[in-house]
Amino acid sequence: MQMFSLGLDVGGANTKAVLFDNGKLEKHWLEYIPLWKNLKGLKEFLENVRQSVRPRVVGVTMSGELSDVFESKREGVRRIVGVVSDVFSGEKVYYFSLKGNLVSERKALESPYLLSASNWVSSGLLAGREYPECLLIDVGSTTTDLVPINGGKPDPSGWSDYERLQTKELIYTGILRTPPPFLKSKVTVDGKQVGISYEYFANMADVYRVLGLLAEEDYTCETPDGRGMGKEECMRRLARLICSDLEELGEEKIIDIAEDFRRAQILQVKEGILEVANSHDVDNSTPVIVTGMGDDILGKKAAEAAGFEEIIRMSSVYGEVASLMTPAFSLGLLVSEEALNEGRD
C-alpha cells in the first residue's frame, strides 16, 4: 500500500519538497519561488504537489519568514503556516520546531519563533543518524550552516538565526547568490589592489562558472543582469565589479579575480569552522559531513583548510537528493517514520 509522506522546506527564494513512500525516496521538487514577490507562487506549487501525489502526512520547515515581504518573522511564520495549512487542509500537517520535534498548526501559530529557521535542525538530525558525533556543514546557494552534532542531535551554541550569526554557526555565504564584494572589499589585479563596486553586478555563481567549477545547469538562480550563464557572460559580469569590462581587462585577469574571491570564501567558511569547533567538543578527528550544492567546492575545501581529516559527503550516505535539499529530505523521512509508527499503533 502506498503511503506518501512529504517533507517541505519553504525558503525565501527556493521551496524544496521531498516525497517518501513508506520510508523510501519517491520524488523531489526544487522550485524557485521568491516569496518577496508574493505568496501566490507558493500556494500554486503546493496545490500542484498535493493534487499530483496526495501525501498522507506533511512535515514543514522554513526559513522564508525572514523575507522582507513580511514585517516581522512572527508575521512571516504565520503567513507561511497559513498557506500550507490551507492547501493541506485534509492532510495531517506537522510543523518542525527548533527543538527538533513536530508540532501542530495551533502550536506553530502560538509560538512562531519556535519554527523560524528550523531547517538546519532537520538537517542535523539526518547527519546524526549515521554520525552521532560530527560536524555538519551545509553549503547552499545563499547560506552556510555549521551544525555540531552530539549524541545524534544538533548541539549548537545559538538557535535563532540572529544567535547563530553571532556564533558563526550561520554564515551568510553560499555558492550562487552571494555578492563577491561581501567577501572582500578589494581584489588584486596585476599586483595592485583595486576597490570594488558594491552593485549587484555579479555573484559567486559567476565566480565558480568562470573557474570551471560550476556547470551551467547548476546555476539555478537568476543572473544579476538577466543575461545568460555562459562563461563569457559571467566574465563580463565579474569585470563590471571593478568598473571595467572584458575588453579592458581580458580573460586572464578576470580569472585571477575569480580565484581571489573563491579563496576569500573558503577562508570565510574555514574561519567559521574553526570558531565553531573551538566552542564545541570538535577537533580535527571529528567526522565532518558536507552537504548542500556547495558540499564539494566550498564545504570540503574549507574543512580541509581547517585541518579536518575525515570529510564525508552526505550524498555518499543518502544520495544526491539528500544532499541537494537536506532539510526537506530529513523531514520527509521523519514524518514518513512517524506515519509508519502511527500505522503500527
Residues 182-221 binding its own copies (CB under 8 A) are: 182, 185, 192-201
Q: How far is the CB of 317 from its own copies (least distance, A)?
A: 29
Our finding on whether 48 is near its own copies (CB under 8 A) is no
Cβ distance to its own copies smaller for residue 6 or 171: 171
Cβ distance to its own copies smaller for residue 42 or 187: 187
Q: Which three cell numbers stand for residue 28?
A: 523531489
Our finding on whether 224 is near its own copies (CB under 8 A) is yes
Our finding on whether 165 is near its own copies (CB under 8 A) is yes
Q: How far is the CB of 287 from its own copies (least distance, A)?
A: 25
Neighbours of 344 (CB within 10 A): 6
Neighbours of 69 (CB within 10 A): 17
The binding track of 94-133 with respect to its own copies, each residue x by CB under 8 A or -, is -------------------x---x----------------
CA distances for 20 relative to 160, 208, 328, angstroms: 29, 33, 11
Cα separation, 261 vs 35, in Å, equals 29
Q: How far is the CB of 328 from its own copies (least distance, A)?
A: 20
SS3 (DSSP) at 57: strand
The beta-strand segments (E) located in the chain are: 4-10, 14-21, 24-32, 57-62, 92-96, 102-103, 134-139, 144-150, 153-154, 170-171, 186-189, 192-195, 288-291, 311-313
Our finding on whether 85 is near its own copies (CB under 8 A) is no
Figure out which of the listed residues 39, 66, 257, 298 binds its own copies, where binding follows CB under 8 A: 66
- Structural contact between residues 323 and 25, judged by C-beta atoms closer than 8 angstroms: no
Figure out which of the listed residues 82, 109, 179, 211 binds its own copies, where binding follows CB under 8 A: 179
Our finding on whether 252 is near its own copies (CB under 8 A) is no
Q: Which three cell numbers stand for residue 51?
A: 493534487
**DSSP strand pairing (288-291 vs 311-313):** parallel
Binding interface with its own copies (CB under 8 A):
36, 66, 68-69, 71-74, 113, 117, 160-162, 165-166, 168, 170-173, 178-179, 181-182, 185, 192-201, 224-225, 227, 236-237, 240, 242-249
